[in-house]
Amino acid sequence: MRVLSSLLLALTAGASSALVDAPAPFNSSLFKDLNVTRGLNYHYYAVPADTGKPTILFLHGYPSTSYDWRHQVAFFQDKGYGLLVPDLLGYGGTAKPLDPQLYVSSLITRDLIDILDAEGINQAVVISHDWGSKTASRLANYFPERFHSYAFLAVGYFSPNYFATPYDVNVNLTKAVLGYANFGYFDFFASDGADQIILDHLDSFFDILYAKDTVRTITDWSPLGALEAFITKDTRLPPVDYVTPEERSIQMEALRQGGFAGPLNWYKIARGTLEGQDDQGIPQQNVLLQSPVFFGAALRDYVTVSAPINLDAVIASSNSTLTVHEYNSGHWVQMALKDEVNSDLLQWIEGSVGLDG
């Protein structure tokens, strides 16, 4: 209860939330709030680096908060790394505007640079997952001088022209290759009222999100209409063993409190044309990454099909050292195989050249 009530406070309060306990391993007094240049509040966890250690910026995906990185926070904070772990736009203690246009990458990356500036961080290492990988890609495209290196988990690099292909064309392509419309769930997420439907069936939604048998997503998440049908029937599935019941309630409560109207905007801009248009502003000379890249493929993630599709994208986009690890895991690889992932990331960071803190 103590953990839950502190989370609620952290979600609604500003800097005063620092006085309340945050869920372990987060240290309550290290949460901060920043009103970024465009006037939106960002809530983030900030651990200063020990001398000589770099700072890592962690970018979570959908539907999540900074709490997704709890195992990495525990691991790297003990080793003296600087950490910046924001709740991204739409989530947790950060602003949750309803206008999808405010979620495009050129704006969100600027917000994150504001956080780096406020913290006096000249260069950071990025570690990203899911939609966070899109944001990491765009940080590399817009602000390459601010980052040492980029790690992508489960979802790889998004090339600047990725969203130029209309959604319908992409869906038909996946249908031709896989036999079903792999990104059909975008359609549901972008539809009016989806936020309330998800909230009304949150247990079922969490069951399929964290399905133990990840093959279930092929029938019950990805195809057009499948996810909505699954949750509106309140279908239940056995839970995964790498998320404790307490961790699950912390995550569910954060999302219940924040709602899904904000988070679903990450899909609306991709299902429509906003992200594709925004990406046209990417400087051509920054399309190819010139810094070390890590890709952690989640071999049993059938939604993002990370191994075959994302690996190609990462390889094609890197003109620097590329480190690839394959994990026998579903989508949530940073939780499911935390020790393996932490150790691989540590080795990669320590081996990356030119780190100057």
Strand-pair category, 82-86 with 55-59:
parallel
Q: Verify binding: residue 288, ligand NAG, rule CB under 6 A.
A: yes
- Phi-psi group of 120: left, alpha or beta (phi > 0 → left; psi -120 to 50 → alpha; rest → beta): left
Q: Among residues 110 and 300, whose Cβ is nearest to ligand NAG? A: 110
Site string for ligand NAG, 168-187 (x = CB under 6 A): xx--x---------------
Residue for token pair 């000589």: 52
Among 5, 12, 16, 35, binds ligand NAG (CB under 6 A): 35
Of 61-69, 164-172, 199-207, 231-239, which segment contacts ligand NAG by CB under 6 A? 164-172
| Smallest separation, CB 6 to ligand NAG (Å) | 14
CB atoms under 10 Å from CB of 174, counted, come to: 18
29 part of the interface to ligand NAG, by CB under 6 A: yes
**Span interacting with ligand NAG, options 89-97, 156-164, 165-173, 297-305, rule CB under 6 A:** 165-173
For ligand NAG, the closer CB: 291 or 310: 291
What pairing do the DSSP bridges indicate for beta strands 147-153 and 124-129? parallel
Please check whether residue 218 is in contact with residue 226, taking contact to mean a CB–CB distance below 8 angstroms.
Answer: no
CA–CA gap between residue 84 and residue 53 (Å, rounded) = 13
User: Which of the stretches 25-33, 96-104, 116-124, 259-267 binds ligand NAG when contact is defined by CB under 6 A?
Assistant: 25-33
Footprint of ligand NAG on residues 36-75 (CB under 6 A)?
39
Rg (CA), the chain: 19
Does residue 16 interact with ligand NAG by CB under 6 A? Answer: no
d(CA 272, CA 167): 7
Binding of residue 273 to ligand NAG (CB under 6 A):
no
| Euclidean distance between CA atoms 339 and 75, whole angstroms | 9
Q: Is residue 316 packed enough to be buried (19+ CB in 10 Å), middle (13-18) or exposed (0-12)?
A: exposed
Look at the alpha carbons of 250, 83, 99, 167 in this order and tell me if their dihedral is positive or negative. negative
Give the nearer residue to ligand NAG in terms of CB position, either 50 or 234: 50
One-letter amino acid identity for 147? F
Candidates 319, 328, 343, 347: give the one binding ligand NAG (CB under 6 A): 319
User: Smaller CB distance to ligand NAG: residue 32 or 331?
Assistant: 32
Q: CB under 6 A: which stretch of 29-37, 205-213, 227-235, 298-306 binds ligand NAG?
A: 29-37
SS3 of residue 151 by DSSP:
strand
Residues 6+ apart with CB under 8 A from 258: 11, 65, 90, 91, 92, 96
CB of 47 to ligand NAG, least distance (A): 8
- The residue count for binding ligand NAG (CB under 6 A) is 10
Query: According to the binding rule CB under 6 A, does residue 354 interact with ligand NAG?
Result: no
CA distance linking residue 330 with residue 337, whole number of Å: 10
Closest to ligand NAG by CB, 172 vs 273, is 172
* Minimum separation from the CB atom of position 352 to ligand NAG (A): 14
Q: Which stretch binds ligand NAG (CB under 6 A): 22-30, 122-130, 197-205, 310-318?
A: 22-30
User: Helices H, strands E: what count in the chain?
Assistant: 16, 8
Which residues contact ligand NAG (rule: CB under 6 A)? 27, 29-30, 35, 39, 168-169, 172, 288, 319
